[in-house]
Each structure stands twice: as C-alpha cells, then as structure tokens.
C-alpha cells in the first residue's frame, strides 16, 4: 500500500529540510537556513496529521519523526549559533578561546535531543507541553539571527551574552515548565481564551514592521503568556 508510506515520506522531507538548513548555516546563509527550518516545521506538522487521517500510524514513524526533529530543530539551530559565534565580538579576556567557544553551540542539539526523548515518554504532554518545544526554539533562534544580525555582531553585544542566552534556551527546553498547546477541542472562548489571546497577540506582532523579528517575538510572547497562566492558576493559600 502506497498510502502507508506517505507520512514517513513527509517526515523524511522534514529531515532533508533540516540537513539543508544545517548546510546553509555552516556557510552563514541564515535566511536560507530559517526558510528550511520553517518548511521542516510544516512537514513536521502534517506528517502526524496525515498518519492519523489515513490510519497508518506506526512505531517506526514515531521513531523517524524524533530523528528528523533532532536534525531540523536541534542540529540546524546549533549550526546557526556555531557560525554566529565566529562573528560575534569577544571580550579581550576570551580572545584566546575564540576558536573553541563556537563548539558550545552544539549543547543546544544535545538539549533538543533530550527534550524530544522526554516528550516521547511523558504522558503529561498529550494536550500541553512541559518545556519549550524544539520547533519553537529553532524558529526563535533562526528568526532572531536573521532579523537582529547587525546588533548581534556589533560591539553592543558579545560572545558572553550569546552563550548565556543560548544556555537559557537550553534550560527552557528541558525545564518542568507547563506550556499551553494550540490544540482546540472546541472553539468556545471559555475553554480557549488563552489560545485566542495568544493568536490575537500574534496578529498584532505580524502587523508590526519587524519582518522576521515578528516570529522571534511570537515565541517570546508564547513563553511569557504561558508563565502568566502558570502563575495565575496556582492555588493561593
């Protein structure tokens, strides 16, 4: 049956996009890298949906999906940061380590793989997320580097800040931080007011003349709104 191979073919397209994004990043072609990450995210969204619609979900499909995601949303953003670490300003104290520090970018690939492994085994993440999803993290870094490249390589920024921000995103990937999912069981305001609030905020951000920076801002908005939901939903004594 041909239809049983369709979801896995979409997953492989995601994997190929991740490889292309990684290759582009190693050449400093950030724009092509983020385009491939976005396209990979599209394939990642549809492979599971198609598998369920066709009734051909399989264990190998689940494993293949995780492997593809590690490349597209783990290795590719790491490659973007690897090249960016070669461009950023280094304080005089760190100059002797300027050729070594870029390799710390691949911590993100390791944390992304750990995030995906936890997701596969965590029964709590059927209707929400625990920790920042790897696609969101990859889209954030890709769009941020494209939109703010001039600032990131200026003297106002340096490798220390880049490492700290990168490590913070690594921690967010595996943090025990509940984040809402954009899955609608119905379309009532009462059950989906957070999702509607998020989408409305995204429309405002898209209307701003920030270009690719709007995508990075939407990821930040998603995390901040989730933090607000967690804070306000805690029982008060």
* pLDDT value, residue 232: 85
* pLDDT value, residue 40: 96
* pLDDT value, residue 190: 86
In a domain, 45, yes or no: no
In a domain, 105, yes or no: yes
In a domain, 31, yes or no: no
* pLDDT value, residue 183: 77
If one compares 113 and 230, the residue with the highest pLDDT of the two is: 113
**What does pLDDT average to over the chain?**
91
In a domain, 91, yes or no: yes
CA distances from 30 to 20, 48, 116 (A): 11, 28, 24
* pLDDT value, residue 84: 98
In a domain, 81, yes or no: yes
Q: How confident is the model at residue 128 (pLDDT cuts 50, 70, 90)?
A: confident
- Least confident among 1-15, 31-45, 89-103, 135-149: 1-15
C-alpha span between 9 and 129 (Å, rounded): 26
In a domain, 170, yes or no: yes
* pLDDT value, residue 47: 86
Domain coverage including residue 104? 68-232
CA contacts within 13 A on the Cβ side of 70: 19
Pull the structure tokens for residue 45. 């969204």
Place of tokens 């990821």: 219
pTM exceeding 0.85: yes
Question: For residue 131, is it left (φ>0), alpha (ψ between -120 and 50) or beta?
Answer: left
In a domain, 40, yes or no: no
* pLDDT value, residue 235: 64
pLDDT mean over 217-234: 90
* pLDDT value, residue 1: 66
In a domain, 36, yes or no: no
- Least confident among 66-70, 121-125, 151-155: 121-125
Q: Give the tens place of pLDDT for each residue, 40-91.
A: 999 998 888 888 887 877 788 888 999 999 999 999 999 999 999 999 999 9
C-alpha span between 22 and 46 (Å, rounded): 22
- As for how many domains the chain has, the answer is 1
């Amino acid at each position: 049956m041909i239809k049983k191979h369709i979801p896995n073919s979409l997953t492989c397209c995601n994997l190929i996009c991740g490889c292309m994004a990684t290759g582009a990043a190693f050449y400093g072609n950030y724009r092509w890298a983020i385009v491939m990450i976005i396209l990979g995210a599209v394939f990642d969204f549809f492979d599971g949906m198609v598998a369920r619609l066709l009734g051909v979900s399989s264990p190998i499909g689940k494993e293949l999906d995780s492997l593809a995601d590690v490349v597209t949303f783990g290795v590719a953003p790491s490659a973007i940061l690897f090249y960016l670490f070669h461009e950023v300003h280094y304080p005089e104290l760190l100059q002797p380590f300027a050729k070594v520090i870029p390799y710390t970018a691949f911590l993100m690939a390791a944390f992304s793989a750990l995030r995906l492994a936890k997701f596969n085994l965590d029964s709590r993440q059927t209707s929400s997320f625990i920790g920042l999803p790897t696609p969101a993290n990859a889209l954030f870094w890709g769009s941020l580097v494209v939109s703010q490249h001039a600032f990131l390589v200026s003297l106002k920024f340096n490798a220390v800040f880049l490492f700290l921000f990168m490590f913070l995103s690594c921690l967010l990937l595996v943090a025990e931080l509940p984040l809402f999912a954009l899955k609608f069981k119905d379309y009532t305001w009462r059950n989906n007011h957070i999702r509607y609030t998020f989408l409305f905020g995204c429309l405002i951000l898209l209307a701003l003349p920030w270009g690719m920076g709007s995508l990075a801002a939407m990821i930040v908005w998603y995390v901040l709104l989730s933090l607000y939901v967690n804070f306000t939903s805690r029982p008060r004594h």
